[in-house]
Structure 1
Amino acid sequence: MQLLILGGSGRTGKLIVEDAIAKGHSVVALVRSPSSLAARPGLTTVQGTPLKREDIAKAFGALPTRPDAVLVALSLKRVSDSPFAAVSPDAPDRIMEDSVANAISVMNDFGTKRIVIMSQWGAGDSWNSMSFLFRAIFKHTNMKYGLAAHNALDKETRRSDVEFVLARACVLAEGDAAPIRLYPDDGAAIGLLPKITRASVAKFMVEACEKDDFVGKSPVISN
């Protein structure tokens, strides 16, 4: 498959690139700095930002044929890697929502149907599956800004006519890919302290491009 990745230089994005190439897919990554990804067979880097529609169109044209799917691993820019850190003062507004809107617009031009987006547990109707403690954290700490962005992105993506998959990842952890537990869109019966490794999220997202099991769905995923 031909895959376009937005956010490929991030911690999860790099793992998506690695997993996709290991499976024999051809990957193009749109990144601000091409040096942020090590050169390797199967990877093409295009310099630019998903906030510019013309940059996404340029990335679409960097593969021999149009991408079969777009994978999105974008997040809010923070002042540190801590999930509780404040949003960086120079972070673009609506980076996730506008980037995906641009991607869907270009997808329609090229005839690409599938988009797989890294979302988060708590977004949309999975909110009620969180414990009181988690809901309090997402209401009263800086994590509320990321959740608000994912909620807006969730709603806007559903209004499009693309084949979307919103992977609602639980608390992210480091480590190798592990067996993935799948829960319905509302996260029912997920438990109190679910976690998932970034490598597992990457694996799930690439697999969501390869098969049709999750089209139009927002499964909550954990290990």
Structure 2
Amino acid sequence: MHFLLLGATGRTGRHVVTELLAQGHTAVALVRNPASLDVRKGLTVVQGSPLEKADIEKALASGQTIDAAIVTLNTVRASDSPFAAQVSPPRFLADSCETLVSVLSSHNIHRVVVMSTAGAGDSWKGLPWLSRAFMGWTNIKYALADHSLVDAEIRQTGVAWTLVRPVKLEYDEAKSPKKEIEVLDSKGGGKLGVSDSAHVVGVAKLLVKIAAEGLYVKDAIVVRD
């Protein structure tokens, strides 16, 4: 399959690239800084912004027909600290998704898999109260609000969307992800705990699997290790 990737330079997006290329798929990645991605066989890198229709059009015109889009965009804070100020616009994720869907729909491309986060949409009440307090008190709340906008708005479109909501992402590559990540319903199945996490490698593999196999169409899932 041939994928369009938004967010390929991020900490999850890089693993998505590795996974889909390892499976023999190809992709075009729309990125702000092409130098931030290594040149690899099967990967085309196009410079541009996910907020600009012309840039997404440019990515679509760069090679073969797109089968599906995988979005791993996230908001940007001044640092990784949850207390750091928000840098990206309030609707960065929502507007990027809206722009993407508009362009894809005009080309009769309808499969979109979006990495969201546990706490967005109807999964908020499924979080432990301590997690809700922390996310509502820190600047994480701005990213959560943007993810929730994506959650609400993509449901009103005609695309075959899937929202993947990982709990706290684990980025330590020294820790091995489980062979099979656990998939819960959109609210977390009433099973979420404060210490739950999802390894970024496992999440990336699941995103590719969902996009390639057409799983969970028009559904939102919470995932954890």
In structure 1, the partner of 2:119 is 122
Q: 2:47 is matched with which residue?
A: 47
The one of 139, 150, 153 equivalent to 2:150 is 153
Q: Which residue of 2 aligns with 1:69?
A: 68
Aligned length: 220
Alpha-carbon distance between aligned partners in 1 of 2:128 and 2:177, rounded to the nearest angstrom: 26
| Range with greater deviation from structure 2 (157-166 or 173-182) | 173-182
- Aligned match of 1:86: 85
1:188 is paired with a residue whose SS is: helix
What one-letter code is carried by the residue in structure 2 that aligns with 1:70? A
User: Given that residues 113 and 163 in structure 2 are in contact (C-alpha distance below 8 angstroms), is that contact kept between their aligned partners in structure 1?
Assistant: yes
Give me the whole-angstrom Cα distance separating, in 1, the residues matched to 2:188 and 2:5.
26
Letter in 1 for 2:219: K
1:183 aligned residue: 184
Q: CA deviation at 1:111?
A: 1.3
CA distance in 1, matches of 2:80, 2:149: 23
Question: Mapping of 1:1-223 within 5 angstroms?
Answer: 1-64=1-64, 66-88=65-87, 91-174=88-171, 175=173, 176-178=176-178, 179-192=180-193, 193-223=195-225
| AA at the equivalent of 2:108 | G
Structure 1 residue 23: Cα displacement: 0.7
SS in 2 for 1:120: coil
1:81-127: CA deviation from partner (whole Å, max 9, x where unpaired) = 23442212xx2341111111111011111111110001000111111
In 1, are the aligned partners of 2:27 and 2:43 still within 8 Å (CA)? yes
Letter matched to residue 16 of structure 1: V
Contact 1:116 1:165 in 2 (8 A): yes
Q: Is the 8 A contact 1:177 1:203 kept in 2?
A: no
User: Shift of the alpha carbon at 1:158?
Assistant: 0.4
Kindly provide the CA deviation profile for residues 17-45 of structure 1, in whole angstroms up to 9, marking residues without a partner as x: 11111111111000011110000100000
Deviates more, 1:175-184 or 1:209-218: 175-184
Asked if structure 1 preserves the Cα contact closer than 8 Å seen for 2:82 and 2:138, the reply is no
- The code of the aligned residue for 2:63 comes to L
Percent identity of equivalent pairs: 39
Task: Tell me how large the CA RMSD over aligned residues is.
Answer: 1.2
Counterpart of 1:50 in 2: which secondary structure?
A: coil
- Distance in 1 of aligned mates of 2:118 and 2:43: 30
Q: Secondary structure at the match of 1:51?
A: coil
Deviation at 1:177, TM superposition (A): 3.9
Q: CA deviation at 1:215?
A: 0.5
Q: How many Å separate the matches in 2 of 1:191 and 1:122?
A: 11
Q: Is the 8 A contact 1:50 1:56 kept in 2?
A: yes
Which blocks of at least 5 consecutive residues in structure 2 are unaligned?
none
8 Å Cα contact 1:173/1:195 also seen in 2: yes
